[in-house]
Structure 1
Amino acid sequence: MSEPISIDIWSDIACPWCYIGKRNLEAGLAATASDEDAPQVTVTFHSFELSPDTPVDFDGDEIDFLAGHKGMPREQVEQMLARVTDVAAQAGLEYRFDLLKHTNTVKAHELLHFAKSKGLQHEMEERLMSAYFTEGKHVGRIEDLAALAAEVGLDADETRAALQADEFLDAVRADQAQARAYGITGVPFFVIDGQYGISGAQPAEAFTNVLRDLWAKRGAEQPADA
């Protein structure tokens, strides 16, 4: 039996292309699931902060933030968000930038590592992204994060204590250091089997093709009695 293909994803829950990329990867995985020899895959999410200097409670909407952060005219930002919203819709996501509460995401990243330690990282990643991009929920404050954690089956009190103690901050920083070592400057960034990098929210077919090719090569390399 071949070892599963590892997919390590550097992302930020406040990155609109990361949620789209996640959906496209899921669609790519679903397309291979019915293969006679379906690729076996393990997926792990890693921390990347797009705007670490953002305050927890940002005073303004997403247009205010991007116009100030990127120095872009508001009209250009509005056009950019409209395009992202259209692409998200094609991936089955309903982005609500009018509701979105921009915030610092370091605590959300700590929560993802806490969830990983409990075997619920994927569920927590999905819940955070949905809360942020489609529901207009706050994902920067500890109390709000503890409530979202409880929704996926984590203990709210244990979550709160871990976040208050910065219990997983070192794990976040380690992910960021690994990103720098890989030369990752933007997300989403997918590292497959520790050696192949895929940058950006690629279409589902890109993931399907890479996974099938890697799995076929892996099978060909297996000894006859494996």
Structure 2
Amino acid sequence: MTDAIKIDVWSDIACPWCYIGKRNLETGLAATADDADAPRVEVTFHSYELSPDTPVDFDGNEVDFLSQHKGMTPEQVKPMLDRVTGVAAEAGLEYRFDLLKHTNTVKAHELLHFAKEQGLQKEMTERLMSAYFTEGRHVGRIDDLVELAADAGLDREAARDALESGRYLEAVRADQAQAQAYGIQGVPFFVIDGKYGVSGAQPAEAFAQIARQVWSERAEASAAS
């Protein structure tokens, strides 16, 4: 049997294009499920912090954040937010920038590594992104993260211990070092089978196409060997 295609995704919980890219990837892969020879795919998420200097409790809204951290004017921010909200809606996501609570995401990334160890990284990633972009939940404080961990099926006290101990910080930093080695300067960034790099929140059709292409290449290589 042909080994599964490995897709490694570098993303940040607080990146609006990352959630869109994640959903488009899922939609694209789902479209290949009925193929006669459907590609088998394993997706792994990796840590990337877009704004590591963001405080856990940022005092302000999305417009304030982008104005302070990106040097944009409020007049520039609104059409940009309207655009990303529209693209998110096309992907089936209802972004609520009016509710969003900016925070530092390093603890959320630590939680994702804990969840990966428990076999629940997919569920935890979805829960964090949904909480942040559509529900206005706080994803930077340990108490809040523990509740979200429980929502995703993780043991509450084990999650708290993982976060309070900081023992997954090294794994977060290793992901970031790998991103630097790959030359990744923005997310989402998708690495397919360690040899193809795809940058940005591509349409679902693009992900379906590349999965079929790589799977076909695998089959041809297998037949030739």
**How many angstroms apart in 2 are the aligned matches of 1:172 and 1:57?**
21
Partner of 2:77: 77
**How many angstroms apart in 1 are the aligned matches of 2:155 and 2:215?**
38
**How many angstroms apart in 2 are the aligned matches of 1:218 and 1:160?**
42
Name the aligned partner's letter for residue 183 of structure 2.
G
Q: TM-score, normalised by structure 1?
A: 0.98
CA RMSD of aligned residues (A): 0.9
Q: How do residues 13-162 of structure 1 correspond to structure 2 at under 5 angstroms?
A: 13-162=13-162
Name the aligned partner's letter for residue 17 of structure 1.
W
Q: How do residues 175-190 of structure 1 correspond to structure 2 at under 5 angstroms?
A: 175-190=175-190
SS in structure 1 at match of 2:159: helix
**How many angstroms apart in 1 are the aligned matches of 2:51 and 2:8?**
21
**What is the Cα deviation at residue 223 of structure 1?**
4.0
**What is the Cα deviation at residue 222 of structure 1?**
1.3
SS in structure 1 at match of 2:136: coil
In structure 1, the gaps of 5 or more residues are: none
**How many angstroms apart in 2 are the aligned matches of 1:162 and 1:26?**
28
SS in structure 2 at match of 1:119: coil
**How many angstroms apart in 1 are the aligned matches of 2:148 and 2:142?**
10
Partner of 1:191: 191
Q: TM-score, normalised by structure 2?
A: 0.99
Identity %: 73
Q: Which moved more, 1:156-165 or 1:49-58?
A: 156-165
**How many angstroms apart in 1 are the aligned matches of 2:51 and 2:221?**
43
In structure 2, the gaps of 5 or more residues are: none
**What is the Cα deviation at residue 167 of structure 1?**
1.1
- Segments of 4+ moved more than 6 angstroms: none
Deviations 1:127-150 (A, max 9, x none): 000000000000000000000000
**What is the Cα deviation at residue 217 of structure 1?**
1.2
**How many angstroms apart in 2 are the aligned matches of 1:60 and 1:70?**
14
Partner of 1:206: 206
**How many angstroms apart in 2 are the aligned matches of 1:117 and 1:27?**
25
